[in-house]
Structure 1
């Protein structure tokens, strides 16, 4: 996970993070998410190499938001175009739904994350907002799209 995410931190605008997380950081993060009752899933290739991960966390800290989650997914570049992202995203959302989530939010960069935007749209997310020029990274002014998916039947 650290290897996959570091690429997005240092070489892309898909995340606004500027310092890569360590393997230890990821261990703490995954344990915290699971302790809070939300799924943290890891996809592996046939040889056991991690090729992607997805998780959900609370959208906001206030209790009124407890049933709304923010979803996150990252794939190794070699894993794109093989259905891994769709399977991982669908599974993490199904798990979140089974654990009581009613709404899912995705925050996607408006530059350099076209694949992520397309993936989210493919599984049913709809664009509900666009925050323009709210960040700067790699010499670019960046915004984010807010996407939402109802998890209610």
Structure 2
């Protein structure tokens, strides 16, 4: 039987699974520069604020289990940036390479456009070739690179900035 892949809007019931998935990335990768994983309360506050602000937050479930999520957050807090968002996508490690990032980014772009955003920025650790390639496939172009911007796991990491119009 084929797996059932579903995209849904974020709901409070997703917080534990999102927190667990994000913890994995904090503890094992440089996909995020958080050094300590936030708890469920902090994640609920973060996601609740995005939803309240009208920002898209999408979860991807396979046979009822969360296997990824994506959201468009405020790019910068100053009001002139209000039409620009920053995307974030996290995929369960057992689901990487199955096209889930493509599904999430496609939906996130459309929902961000509908929410009134005009530009989307991706801030990606330079060694994340899969994420960079995904964004390139969706028309993001490279707009800059910051060298040695983040220090994690005893080494410095560069950041690539990519952008696309919505």
What's the TM-score, normalizing by structure 2?
A: 0.86
SS of the residue corresponding to residue 158 of structure 2 reads strand
State the Cα RMSD in Å. Answer: 1.0
**Structure 1 portions without partners, runs of 5+:** none
Q: 2:105 matched to 1:89?
A: yes
Per the TM alignment, residue 24 of structure 1 is displaced from its structure 2 partner at its CA by 2.3
* Partner of residue 116, structure 2: 100
Using the alignment, how far apart are the partners of 1:14 and 1:63 within structure 2?
A: 27
* Partner of residue 162, structure 2: 147
Using the alignment, how far apart are the partners of 2:49 and 2:99 within structure 1?
A: 28
5 Å-filtered alignment, 1:69-88, equals 69-88=85-104
* Range that drifts further, 133-142 or 17-26: 17-26
5 Å-filtered alignment, 1:115-134, equals 115-134=130-149
Using the alignment, how far apart are the partners of 1:21 and 1:123 within structure 2?
A: 30
Task: Give every structure 1 segment of 4 or more consecutive aligned residues whose post-TM-superposition deviation is greater than 2 Å.
Answer: none
**Structure 2 portions without partners, runs of 5+:** 1-17
Using the alignment, how far apart are the partners of 1:49 and 1:28 within structure 2?
A: 22
Using the alignment, how far apart are the partners of 1:137 and 1:74 within structure 2?
A: 18
